Amino acid sequence: MPAHDVLIIGAGLAGQRAALAAAKAGASVAIMSKVHPVRSHSVAAAGGINAAISVDDDWRSHAFDTVKGSDFLGDQDAIEVMCSEAPDEVLHLEHIGVTFHRNDRGEMDLRAFGGASMKRTAYVADITGQAMLHVLYEQLMKHHETVERFEEWFTTSLLLDESGSCSGVIARDVRSGRMEAFTAKNVILACGGAGQAYKPTTNGLIVTGDGIALAYRSGAPLMDMEMVQYHPTCLVETGILITEGARGEGAHLLNANGERFMEKSAPNKMELASRDVVSRAEQTEINEGRGVGPGGAGISLDVTVVPRKRTLEALREIVNLGRDFAGVDITREPITIRPGQHYIMGGVKTDVDGRTPIEGLYAAGEVACVSVHGGNRLGANSLLDTLIFGRRAGEHAAARAASMPLPHLDGSAQLRRDVNAIDATIARPHQGRRVSEIKNDLGETMNRHAAVFRDEAGLQEALATIGRLREEADSAWIDDRGTVFNQDVLGALELGFLLDCAETTVVAALERRESRGAQFRTDFPERNDEEWLKHIDVSLGEEGPLVSYSPVTITQWQPEERKY
Ligand SMILES: Cc1cc2nc3c(=O)[nH]c(=O)nc-3n(C[C@H](O)[C@H](O)[C@H](O)COP(=O)(O)OP(=O)(O)OC[C@H]3O[C@@H](n4cnc5c(N)ncnc54)[C@H](O)[C@@H]3O)c2cc1C
Please work out whether the CB of residue 35 comes within 6 Å of at least one atom of ligand 1. Answer: yes
What are the residues whose beta carbons fall under 8 Å from the beta carbon of 320, sequence distance 6 or more? none
Give the three-class secondary structure for 505.
helix
Residue 221 has what pLDDT? Answer: 98
Q: Return the sign of the alpha-carbon dihedral for residues 129, 132, 135, 139.
A: negative
- If you take atom 52 of ligand 1, which residue's CA is the nearest one? 45
| Rounded percentage of the chain residues whose pLDDT exceeds 90 | 98
Task: Give residue 12 CA to ligand 1 midpoint distance, Å.
Answer: 6
3-state SS, one letter per residue, for 180-244: EEEEEEEEEECCCCCHHHCCCECCCCCCCCHHHHHHHHCCCCEECCCCEEEEEEEECCCCCECCC
Q: Please give the number of the atom of ligand 1 that sits closest to the Cα of 154.
A: 42
Q: Please give the number of the atom of ligand 1 that sits closest to the Cα of 14.
A: 25
Nearest residue to 76 (alpha-carbon basis) of 88, 52, 59, 58: 59
Task: Give residue 5 CA to ligand 1 midpoint distance, Å.
Answer: 24
Please work out whether the CB of residue 245 comes within 6 Å of at least one atom of ligand 1. Answer: no
Look up residue 210 and give its amino acid: D
Nearest residue to 224 (alpha-carbon basis) of 320, 141, 52, 343: 343
| Rounded percentage of the chain residues whose pLDDT exceeds 70 | 100
Residue 408 has what pLDDT? Answer: 85
Other CB atoms within a 10 A radius of the CB of residue 544 amount to: 11
Asked if 516 contacts 71 with a C-beta cutoff of 8 angstroms, the reply is yes
22/166 Cα distance (integer angstroms): 17
Q: Please give the number of the atom of ligand 1 that sits closest to the Cα of 245.
A: 8
- Work out the pLDDT band at 559, boundaries 50, 70, 90: very high
Q: Please give the number of the atom of ligand 1 that sits closest to the Cα of 204.
A: 53
Burial 383-418 (b: 16+ CB within 10 A, else e): bbbbbbbbbbbbbbbbebbeeeeebebebeebbeeb
- Work out the pLDDT band at 27, boundaries 50, 70, 90: very high
- Work out the pLDDT band at 409, boundaries 50, 70, 90: confident
Q: H or E stretch including 169?
A: strand 166-173
- Averaged over 42-64, what is the pLDDT? 96
Q: H or E stretch including 3?
A: strand 3-9
Pocket test for ligand 1, best of 9, 36, 40 (most atoms within 8 A of CB): 40
What are the residues whose beta carbons fall under 8 Å from the beta carbon of 466, sequence distance 6 or more? 442, 445, 499, 502, 503, 506
Asked if 124 contacts 317 with a C-beta cutoff of 8 angstroms, the reply is no
Q: Return the sign of the alpha-carbon dihedral for residues 423, 425, 429, 430.
A: negative
Q: From residue 269, give the alpha-carbon distance in Å to each of 18, 66, 341.
A: 36, 15, 22
Task: Give residue 519 CA to ligand 1 midpoint distance, Å.
Answer: 22
Q: Which of 39, 275, 280, 516 is catalytic?
A: 275
- Averaged over 61-75, what is the pLDDT? 98
Please work out whether the CB of residue 363 comes within 6 Å of at least one atom of ligand 1. Answer: no
Q: Please give the number of the atom of ligand 1 that sits closest to the Cα of 385.
A: 11
Task: Give residue 445 CA to ligand 1 midpoint distance, Å.
Answer: 23
Task: Give residue 193 CA to ligand 1 midpoint distance, Å.
Answer: 7
Please work out whether the CB of residue 128 comes within 6 Å of at least one atom of ligand 1. Answer: yes
Compute the CA torsion angle 279, 281, 285, 286 (nearest 10 deg): 20
Please state, rounded to an integer, the average pLDDT across all residues of the chain: 96
Task: Give residue 424 CA to ligand 1 midpoint distance, Å.
Answer: 31
Give the three-class secondary structure for 288.
coil
Please work out whether the CB of residue 114 comes within 6 Å of at least one atom of ligand 1. Answer: no
Q: From residue 71, give the alpha-carbon distance in Å to each of 76, 265, 276, 529.
A: 12, 15, 10, 10
Q: Please give the number of the atom of ligand 1 that sits closest to the Cα of 33.
A: 44
Q: How many residues does the chain have?
A: 564
Burial 40-64 (b: 16+ CB within 10 A, else e): bbbbbbbbbbbbbbeeebebebbbb
Estimate to the nearest angstrom the gap between the alpha carbon of 168 and the chain centroid.
Answer: 24
- Averaged over 246-263, what is the pLDDT? 96
Estimate to the nearest angstrom the gap between the alpha carbon of 316 and the chain centroid.
Answer: 24
- If you take atom 12 of ligand 1, which residue's CA is the nearest one? 382
Task: Give residue 503 CA to ligand 1 midpoint distance, Å.
Answer: 21
Please work out whether the CB of residue 254 comes within 6 Å of at least one atom of ligand 1. Answer: no
Task: Give residue 263 CA to ligand 1 midpoint distance, Å.
Answer: 33
Q: Return the sign of the alpha-carbon dihedral for residues 382, 386, 387, 391.
A: positive
Is 316 designated active site? no
Pairing of strands 453-454, 520-521: parallel
Please work out whether the CB of residue 202 comes within 6 Å of at least one atom of ligand 1. Answer: yes
Please work out whether the CB of residue 365 comes within 6 Å of at least one atom of ligand 1. Answer: yes
Please work out whether the CB of residue 41 comes within 6 Å of at least one atom of ligand 1. Answer: yes
Pairing of strands 222-223, 534-541: antiparallel
pLDDT at 410 over 90: no
145/469 Cα distance (integer angstroms): 45
245/48 Cα distance (integer angstroms): 8
- Work out the pLDDT band at 515, boundaries 50, 70, 90: very high
220/197 Cα distance (integer angstroms): 20
What are the residues whose beta carbons fall under 8 Å from the beta carbon of 228, sequence distance 6 or more? 198, 341, 343, 344, 345, 346, 450, 451, 505, 518
pLDDT at 360 over 90: yes
Residue 2 has what pLDDT? Answer: 84
Q: What is the pTM of this model?
A: 0.97
- Work out the pLDDT band at 214, boundaries 50, 70, 90: very high
pLDDT, tens digit (0-9, with 9 covering 90-100), for 425-461: 999 998 889 999 999 999 999 999 999 999 999 999 9
pLDDT, tens digit (0-9, with 9 covering 90-100), for 119-146: 999 999 999 999 999 999 999 999 999 9
- If you take atom 21 of ligand 1, which residue's CA is the nearest one? 42
What are the residues whose beta carbons fall under 8 Å from the beta carbon of 221, sequence distance 6 or more? 348, 349, 356, 357, 537, 538, 539, 548
Please work out whether the CB of residue 49 comes within 6 Å of at least one atom of ligand 1. Answer: yes
Task: Give residue 395 CA to ligand 1 midpoint distance, Å.
Answer: 21
Nearest residue to 81 (alpha-carbon basis) of 311, 371, 499: 371
* 468 φ/ψ angles, rounded to the nearest 5 degrees: -65, -45
- Averaged over 34-46, what is the pLDDT? 97
Please work out whether the CB of residue 160 comes within 6 Å of at least one atom of ligand 1. Answer: no
Residue 1 has what pLDDT? Answer: 79
Range scoring the smallest mean pLDDT among 85-89, 236-240, 375-379, 527-531? 236-240
Please work out whether the CB of residue 505 comes within 6 Å of at least one atom of ligand 1. Answer: no
Please work out whether the CB of residue 129 comes within 6 Å of at least one atom of ligand 1. Answer: yes
Give the three-class secondary structure for 534.
strand
